[in-house]
Structure 1
């Protein structure tokens, strides 16, 4: 991918991560309450966030690039979270969706808005037929978000994740191209 896609809605800009995003990403990723759903340990240092930003930027160099957009609020030009399409399998025309949002931006429909942009872009530009997502069974806001976007729950993956010192079941969701209708 030669040019990183920048996407915009009425309230958001989805753009490439920049090194200066590390402090805001650190604020999100160090929050143990939020990270209980994310599938990884909370970050402990700003250096870890800087390394994570470098990983997101480096994904563009993969043979099948992975996209992780910085979700920026247009109202305050602050990093509100991120979303991305990763584990792209060109042959199978599938990928996985991931996302997180800072607590201050939750409950306002921002992630729904961001994911609508990302899903539209993925179906239009990556020749995708299927987008998958995995969610902790207790993460009810995320489950409602996916269902509201048309994702269908396909099953439960027993002890599929390991973080915070224990195994976690995950619910498997998918969205097919034929089922994607931009929600209003």
Structure 2
């Protein structure tokens, strides 16, 4: 296994998007989708503090968090990454997309790139995701990416695992 941090932060290029490190200049556009420990930011200051914690988690080898950038504009349209379990050879894959970009294939592309990185670069043996039972779009995304439901969790959440 090759866990973070890496000598150079991994930027991953796809067809329409690429995954890159989030810069301080990106944060003002990401407040509404900035989360840490299931708490959502409501101000740029809160989102900045959260990003500092996310960056520290990466430095500590516990996670990797990418901005999903549109190749044409370099604008961050969402985020995705692995947030738990890396030390055990597994990764909880999470994602969030700004509302104007939903339904356009951004997240499918981003998650496919993140899955490939998790399997082939980090060397994960298990990739999983959790979401609300009401989040039908996330469930459709996970199923489209070959995840299968494995558990109903507390708080009306469901867990999915990548089927290899």
Same fold (TM over 0.5): yes
Partner in structure 2 of residue 174 of structure 1: 161
User: What TM-score do the two structures reach when normalised by structure 1?
Assistant: 0.80
Distance 1:2 1:88 in 2: 21
The answer to whether the Cα contact below 8 Å between 1:157 and 1:172 also exists between their aligned partners in 2 is yes
Q: Please provide the CA RMSD for this pair.
A: 1.8
Q: Kindly tell me the number of residue pairs found equivalent between the two proteins.
A: 159
Pairing of 1:15-94 with structure 2 (within 5 A): 15-29=20-34, 40-62=38-60, 64-90=61-87, 92-94=88-90
Report the Cα offset of residue 21 of structure 1. Answer: 1.3
User: What TM-score do the two structures reach when normalised by structure 2?
Assistant: 0.89
Report the Cα offset of residue 125 of structure 1. Answer: 1.1
The answer to whether the Cα contact below 8 Å between 1:95 and 1:130 also exists between their aligned partners in 2 is yes
Task: Extract unaligned runs of 5+ from structure 2.
Answer: 1-5
Q: Secondary structure, in 3 states, of the residue corresponding to 1:114?
A: helix
Partner in structure 2 of residue 103 of structure 1: 99
Report the Cα offset of residue 129 of structure 1. Answer: 1.1
Report the Cα offset of residue 39 of structure 1. Answer: 7.5
Q: Select between 100-109 and 45-54 the one with higher mean Cα deviation.
A: 45-54
Partner in structure 1 of residue 18 of structure 2: 13
1:45-68 CA distance string (max 9 Å, x none): 110011122122222211x34100
Q: Select between 130-139 and 44-53 the one with higher mean Cα deviation.
A: 44-53
Larger Rg belongs to:
1
